[in-house]
């Protein structure tokens, strides 16, 4: 799979992938993380404009999407718990799969780790799939962060040894 930055022309496919991901979340007991509208078209367009939004593609088309924030995310400045280190970090958000290919998260993380060796990410307490995948990929649960809207999320930091293919 190759990775490229998203462009405006990809918008409809990105929206479809996020809708699919919300459906999978609901089916697996995580009905509140992204609700019915997250990420909004406005957030997606902002991610594209800032160069944050990336696509995982193969010969069959777009297989996944994620936002990579190289300068990190200030929401991670406060944590109930403790980060592995306090060095500058990159952040990964809004990871989603089109559901047609396996290995989206490992491919995403390999790419992100090629750009930064200190990555933080968070997920909802009900997102068992993402928690499992993150831990399998060498991420360590460090505590709980609070989003700007007051919602809590499980916070992870890459601890080394990417373990998935």
Read off the pLDDT of residues 56-105 as tens digits, 9 standing for 90 and up.
999 999 999 999 999 999 999 999 999 999 999 999 999 999 999 999 99
pLDDT computed for residue 121 by the predictor: 98
Handedness of CA 10, 15, 20, 21 (dihedral sign): positive
**Total residue count of the chain as it appears in this document:** 165
pLDDT computed for residue 165 by the predictor: 44
Q: Which sequence spans correspond to the domains of the chain? A: 2-158
- On whether the CB atoms of residues 140 and 79 are closer than 8 A, the answer is no
* Average pLDDT along the chain: 93
Q: Say whether 91 sits in a helix, a strand or coil.
A: strand
Residue 42 to residue 94: CA distance in whole angstroms: 14
Q: Report the DSSP pairing between strands 139-146 and 119-123.
A: unpaired
C-alpha 156 chain-centroid distance? 11
Checking phi first, is residue 25 left (phi over 0); if not, alpha (psi -120 to 50) or beta? alpha
- 164 has pLDDT over 50: no
Residue 4 to residue 61: CA distance in whole angstroms: 12
- On whether the CB atoms of residues 55 and 6 are closer than 8 A, the answer is yes
99-151 confidence digits (pLDDT tens):
999 999 999 999 999 999 999 999 999 999 999 999 999 999 999 999 999 99
17-30 confidence digits (pLDDT tens):
999 999 999 999 88
Strands (E), 47-165: 53-58, 61-69, 80-81, 90-97, 119-123, 139-146, 152-158
Percent of the chain residues past pLDDT 90, beyond the cut: 87
pLDDT computed for residue 163 by the predictor: 53
CATH architecture of residue range(s) 2-158: 3-Layer(aba) Sandwich (3.40)
Confidence of residue 162 (pLDDT cuts 50, 70, 90): low
Confidence of residue 36 (pLDDT cuts 50, 70, 90): confident
CA atoms within 13 A on the CB side of 39: 22
The 8-class DSSP code of residue 72 comes to: -
């Amino acid at each position: 799979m190759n990775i490229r930055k998203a462009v405006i022309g990809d918008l409809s496919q990105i929206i479809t992938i996020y809708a699919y991901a919300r459906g999978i979340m609901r089916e697996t007991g995580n009905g509140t993380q992204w609700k019915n509208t997250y990420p909004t078209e406005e957030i997606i367009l902002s991610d594209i404009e800032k160069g944050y939004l990336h696509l995982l593609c193969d010969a069959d088309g777009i297989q996944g999407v994620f936002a990579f924030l190289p300068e990190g995310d200030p929401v991670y400045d406060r944590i109930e718990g403790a980060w592995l280190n306090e060095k500058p970090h990159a952040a990964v958000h809004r990871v989603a799969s089109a559901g047609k290919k396996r290995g989206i998260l490992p491919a995403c993380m390999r790419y992100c780790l090629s750009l930064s060796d200190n990555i933080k990410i968070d997920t909802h307490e009900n997102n068992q799939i993402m928690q499992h995948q993150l831990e399998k990929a060498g991420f360590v649960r460090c505590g709980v962060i609070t989003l700007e809207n007051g919602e809590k999320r499980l916070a992870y930091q890459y601890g080394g040894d990417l373990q998935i293919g």
